[in-house]
Amino acid sequence: MTTKDYKNYNVAILAFGQFGQASEISFRSLIKLNPKFTCVLGDKIGITSVKYAAKKFGIKNICIHKANISDLKSLKLPINSKEKYVAFGQDRFMKLTTFKWQLIKQSLIKHSEVGGVYFSDLDVLWVNMPNKSLMNKTLSNGFLALQDDSRPNQKYPRYCTGVMYWKNCKKSLLTLDKLFQVQLHNNLNNKLIHDETAFNSWLLESNQKELIKPFPRNKFIIGYKYFDLFMNKSSNIQNIICYHANYTIGERSKFRRLRSIEGIINKERRVLILFIFEMLIKVLIKLKILKIGKFKK
């Protein structure tokens, strides 16, 4: 792969259920990165939401992919589900994330001319596109980069599969197929796991650890660093690559966090209300935890 290939990429997203406000913010930030194609796999409601958003923002390079019907049926997932929101941790959520691997593989095969595919969950605000030097440094001898979710002094690395980049190469295709089969097998045998668990479990047994790289933590911001991002005067929100609103539950909470960061980037003063609201929630939660701890003593 030449350095030019990093400018030639697709974006892949799963769209199961109706777009909420957080999803729309994430989608809008993704298309601003100007990918060659935005590859989407989802249910009827999800695809309809994508098409509506694409029309709203004047985007025409949407590429619709389809999950294997026999796999959907084997997991007892309705093809035309009417569920509007899929919550983290639900059985349906666990099963649907299996198709993340299938989507990325399909995107690489169908668009063999692209250098690679960025996968993004729809609770990620993309601020900048990773530049050539960053990608060259990150993937100098690897084929996959992911958001780093490791904790200090952790024995093994922990990756978040909500933000990934897969090179368009044979290793990627073989690994994606393996991950799909691992997660599918577990979910068919009532050992429900989502895509992140499937990946990190597979990685522990893999002989390809050296080829899988973490994205820089100070550029790809994990969810629990939300307040640090604002409080750290040395950081510049304008220069981050993305912020992932994981580690917070519910569509409204994700929306407030994504919208507050988006507003600060766009220099909108009114979004400070959202940030203050998030701070108030954090304080109240802490007070509740302290009160419960005191009561238990």
Q: Are 270 and 263 in contact (CB under 8 A)?
A: yes
Segments in the chain below pLDDT 50: 1-3, 290-297
pLDDT value, residue 279: 66
41-87 residue pLDDT tens: 998 899 999 999 999 989 989 999 999 889 988 988 876 655 555 55
Q: Are 47 and 64 in contact (CB under 8 A)?
A: yes
9-54 residue pLDDT tens: 999 999 988 899 999 999 999 999 999 999 999 988 999 999 999 9
**Superfamily grouping for domain 3-252:** Spore Coat Polysaccharide Biosynthesis Protein SpsA; Chain A (3.90.550.10)
pLDDT value, residue 94: 87
Q: Are 53 and 24 in contact (CB under 8 A)?
A: yes
> Cα separation of 57 and 32, whole Å?
10
Q: Are 109 and 177 in contact (CB under 8 A)?
A: no
pLDDT value, residue 240: 95
Is the model's pTM score more than 0.85? yes
CA quadruple 192, 196, 202, 204: dihedral sign? negative
Instruction: Summarize the chain as % helix, strand, coil (round to 5).
Output: 50, 15, 35
Residue ranges covered by each domain of the chain: 3-252
Helix 272-296 vs helix 251-265: crossing angle, to nearest 10:
130
